[in-house]
């Protein structure tokens, strides 16, 4: 028996090496990259500091190189022109995100939007989602945005009065939960009824899923282990069931209380989805589509946007001169009145601060990896079908040819931008929530700067290192704040 197992393992290793060799031969060794190990490829070298390791490889192997993520032959790119040739000019070949078991399980078997592998189905849902996230459809959510942010400013007051340092992590996550509950379920923050307990449980389950999804798993990338991971999720994972039931209850309640006028003036995103899905699907399919979409979008929006706001606290504290300049801009342009999304046209310093934050600490540092669905050649490089693509946003931001002295935090480089850098990616599968996210970032970060002076406790510089999970966020840190008079 032991002999059979040893022979099987040996045979697998030999086949794996042959497969890797043939793939490399196919692309004519044009792309350089680190030597892969059998089965794991380069995953061990990359470890949990992927942003730094992939950047180092760029320095060694150039703007485009190859690695193996387990069984996935992967091309890593930090050249913006090449990324655009892939994601815009050849969008159809590069459209799908990767097909790992975690993506499969947490997307209800490749349903919803981000991990849908059926391109025509994806397109239908994408159009519906983009329409539902438009400013006109989200009128009611936008009308509540300043009061939700007002609640954040009120909660921050206690720290200003006590003078005690605090962790911004909690406040950023709570702000995004509050905005999401308003967006998805028209629920006001800090409500004191039975339902608020259910919302809290839902938030906790979502947070747990964010943690689980953000933990790298070798079995996602090794074909032989993939069925085991999927079974493990199906047999042991409890949170998805709870989430599904919660959203279904909200869906049913929305349908029962729906009034004809909500067709034109929806209460929230869920109303719009119900109406729009009804134009394309029938019966129980509508409910299924809505449930899948809602969950995906909840996850896609919360950790990313909250993470960016958390980085903002850190950089405001570490760079008091820059903070003061942005504050003076807001004082002059906005004065005592409420900050509005339309003020973005007249606040170049605040916009540049947010863009530089997105460059130096992109919360989605490697994009969501894509998977090619055909052979294609770009810039003389042959890219076979089923190649994993990492458009390395972190690498672009730290590339000297685009951003001289990239380790320096310098928002003024975005005052006259000559580079089309985007943390939201490019082309038809780029982030569908980009405009909504930018409005949240503008209003929340702008309001924090307008209302409080953020500083580092004891004057000690806060570590700017980040940790990779589902999003790229800072390690725990504290700041102090003082109310602006
Ligand atoms: C700072 C905040 C955010 C960042 C940096 C971000 C970034 C990204 C990136 C890089 C992608 C992958 C694009 C690609 O594969 O090329 C993506 C996809 C996506 N994002 Fe965002 N995102 C943010 C906030 C949001 C928000 C607020 C929402 C929804 C309200 C959202 C919904 C989505 C969805 C649904 C997808 C999948 C799109 C598709 O597959 O068609 N994101 N996002």
What does the DSSP assignment read for 90-154? TTTTT-PBP--HHHHHHTTTT-SSTT---HHHHHHHHHHHHHHTSTTTTHHHHHHHHHHHHHHHH
- What pLDDT was estimated at residue 22? 65
The residue whose CA is least distant from atom 31 of ligand 1 is 433
How many A from CA of 432 to the centre of ligand 1? 6
Ligand 1 nearest atom to the CA of residue 437, by list position: 27
Is the pLDDT confidence value at 5 over 70?
no
Instruction: Report the alpha-carbon distance of residue 69 to residue 419 in Å, rounded.
Output: 30
How many A from CA of 437 to the centre of ligand 1? 9
Q: Which of 355, 390, 349 is nearest to 98 (CA)?
A: 390
Residues with CB under 6 A from ligand 1: 113-114, 126, 133, 296-297, 300-301, 304-305, 308, 363-364, 367-368, 423-425, 429-433, 436-437
Instruction: Fill in the DSSP letter of residue 89.
Output: I
Considering only residues 344 and 296, tell me which one the structure prediction assigns the higher pLDDT. 344
Instruction: Report the alpha-carbon distance of residue 467 to residue 53 in Å, rounded.
Output: 13
CATH of domain 2-483: 1.10.630.10
How many A from CA of 316 to the centre of ligand 1? 25
Q: Which residue has the tokens 């005592």?
A: 336
Is the pLDDT confidence value at 28 over 60?
no
- What pLDDT was estimated at residue 280? 85
Instruction: Report the alpha-carbon distance of residue 359 to residue 83 in Å, rounded.
Output: 16
* pLDDT tens digit sequence for 324-347: 999 999 999 999 999 999 999 999
Instruction: Report the alpha-carbon distance of residue 16 to residue 69 in Å, rounded.
Output: 13
Considering only residues 238 and 28, tell me which one the structure prediction assigns the higher pLDDT. 238
- Enter the tokens of residue 459: 């004057």
Ligand 1 nearest atom to the CA of residue 296, by list position: 35
* pLDDT tens digit sequence for 72-122: 999 999 999 999 999 999 999 999 999 999 999 999 999 999 999 999 999
Is the pLDDT confidence value at 478 over 60?
yes
How many A from CA of 97 to the centre of ligand 1? 12
The residue whose CA is least distant from atom 29 of ligand 1 is 433
Q: Rounding to the nearest 10 degrees, give the CA dihedral for residues 384, 390, 392, 393.
A: 120
How many A from CA of 423 to the centre of ligand 1? 9
Pocket test for ligand 1, best of 433, 440, 469 (most atoms within 8 A of CB): 433
Question: What sign has the CA pseudo-torsion 209, 196, 303, 319?
Answer: negative
β-strand partners of 64: 77
- What pLDDT was estimated at residue 410? 97
How confident is the model over 257-280, as a mean pLDDT?
Answer: 90
For 100: left if phi > 0, alpha if psi spans -120 to 50, otherwise beta; the answer is: beta
Look at residue 90 and give its three-state secondary structure: coil
The residue whose CA is least distant from atom 17 of ligand 1 is 431
From residue 56, alpha-carbon distances to 60, 79, 178, 395, 400 in Å are 6, 15, 39, 9, 13
User: Cβ neighbours of residue 429 under 8 Å, at least 6 residues apart?
Assistant: 87, 91, 94, 95, 97, 126, 370
- What pLDDT was estimated at residue 419? 86
Instruction: Report the alpha-carbon distance of residue 38 to residue 20 in Å, rounded.
Output: 9
How many A from CA of 128 to the centre of ligand 1? 15
The residue whose CA is least distant from atom 2 of ligand 1 is 305
The residue whose CA is least distant from atom 38 of ligand 1 is 114
Ligand 1 nearest atom to the CA of residue 122, by list position: 41
Q: Which residues are annotated as a binding site for heme?
A: 431
β-strand partners of 377: 382
* pLDDT tens digit sequence for 152-162: 999 999 999 99
Pocket test for ligand 1, best of 431, 436, 472 (most atoms within 8 A of CB): 431
Pocket test for ligand 1, best of 92, 311, 424 (most atoms within 8 A of CB): 424
The residue whose CA is least distant from atom 1 of ligand 1 is 305
- What pLDDT was estimated at residue 414? 95
Q: Which residues are annotated as a binding site?
A: 431
- Given a contact cutoff of 8 angstroms between Cβ atoms, the answer to whether 373 and 461 are in contact is no
Q: Rounding to the nearest 10 degrees, give the CA dihedral for residues 102, 107, 108, 113.
A: -150
Strands (E) in 140-198, as ranges, are: none
How confident is the model over 412-420, as a mean pLDDT?
Answer: 89
Pocket test for ligand 1, best of 180, 294, 300 (most atoms within 8 A of CB): 300
How many A from CA of 461 to the centre of ligand 1? 31
Q: How confident is the model at residue 2 (pLDDT cuts 50, 70, 90)?
A: low
Other beta carbons within 10 angstroms of residue 292's beta carbon come to 22
- Given a contact cutoff of 8 angstroms between Cβ atoms, the answer to whether 175 and 68 are in contact is no
How many A from CA of 350 to the centre of ligand 1? 22
The residue whose CA is least distant from atom 37 of ligand 1 is 114
Q: How confident is the model at residue 26 (pLDDT cuts 50, 70, 90)?
A: low
Instruction: Report the alpha-carbon distance of residue 263 to residue 482 in Å, rounded.
Output: 45
Ligand 1 nearest atom to the CA of residue 125, by list position: 41
- What pLDDT was estimated at residue 24? 62
How many A from CA of 30 to the centre of ligand 1? 32
- Enter the tokens of residue 153: 């400013």
| CA 182 from centroid of its chain's CA atoms | 20
Q: How confident is the model at residue 300 (pLDDT cuts 50, 70, 90)?
A: confident
The three-point CA angle 362-392-104 to 5° equals 90
How many A from CA of 300 to the centre of ligand 1? 6
């Amino acid at each position: 028996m032991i002999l059979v197992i040893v022979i099987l393992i040996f045979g697998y290793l030999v086949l794996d090496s042959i497969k890797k060799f043939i793939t490399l031969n196919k692309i004519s060794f044009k792309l350089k990259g680190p030597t892969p190990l059998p089965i794991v490829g380069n995953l061990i070298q990359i470890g949990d500091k992927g942003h730094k390791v992939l950047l180092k490889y760029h320095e060694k192997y150039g703007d485009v190189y190859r690695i193996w993520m387990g069984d996935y032959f992967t091309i890593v790119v930090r050249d913006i022109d090449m990324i655009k040739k892939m994601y815009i000019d050849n969008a159809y070949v590069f459209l799908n995100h990767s097909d790992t078991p975690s993506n499969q399980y947490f997307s209800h078997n490749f349903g919803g939007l981000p991990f849908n592998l059926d391109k025509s189905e994806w397109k239908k849902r994408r159009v519906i989602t983009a329409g539902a996230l438009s400013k006109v459809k989200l009128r009611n959510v936008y009308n509540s945005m300043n009061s939700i942010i007002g609640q954040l400013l009120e909660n921050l007051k206690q720290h200003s009065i006590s003078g005690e340092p605090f962790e911004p992590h909690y406040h950023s996550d709570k702000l995004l939960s509050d905005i999401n509950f308003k967006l998805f379920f028209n629920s006001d923050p800090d409500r004191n009824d039975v339902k608020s307990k259910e919302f809290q449980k839902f938030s906790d389950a979502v947070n747990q899923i964010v943690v689980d999804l953000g933990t790298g798993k070798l079995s996602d990338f090794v074909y032989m282990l993939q069925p085991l991971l999927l079974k493990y999720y199906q047999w042991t994972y409890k949170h998805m069931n709870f989430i599904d039931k919660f959203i279904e209850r909200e869906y049913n309640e929305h349908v029962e209380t729906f009034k004809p006028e909500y067709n034109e003036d929806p209460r929230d995103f869920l109303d719009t989805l119900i109406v729009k899905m009804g134009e394309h699907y029938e019966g129980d399919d509508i409910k299924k589509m809505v449930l899948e979409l809602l969950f995906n979008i909840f996850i896609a929006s919360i950790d990313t946007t909250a993470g960016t706001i958390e980085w903002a606290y850190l950089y405001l504290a570490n760079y008091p001169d820059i903070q003061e300049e942005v504050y003076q801009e807001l004082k002059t342009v906005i004065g005592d009145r409420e900050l509005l999304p339309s003020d973005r046209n007249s606040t170049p310093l605040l916009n540049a601060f947010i863009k530089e934050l997105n460059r130096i600490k992109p919360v989605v540092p490697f994009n969501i990896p894509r998977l090619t669905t055909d052979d294609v050649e770009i810039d003389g490089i042959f890219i076979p079908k089923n190649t994993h693509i990492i458009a390395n946003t972190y690498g672009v931001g730290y590339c000297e040819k685009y951003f001289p002295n990239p380790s320096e935090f310098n928002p003024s480089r975005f005052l006259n931008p000559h580079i089309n850098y985007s943390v939201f990616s490019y082309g038809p599968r780029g982030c569908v929530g980009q405009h909504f996210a930018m409005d949240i970032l503008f209003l929340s970060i702008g309001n924090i700067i307008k209302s409080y002076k953020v500083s580092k406790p004891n004057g000690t510089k806060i570590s700017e290192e980040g940790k990779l999970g589902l999003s790229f966020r800072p390690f725990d840190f504290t700041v102090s704040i003082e109310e602006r008079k």
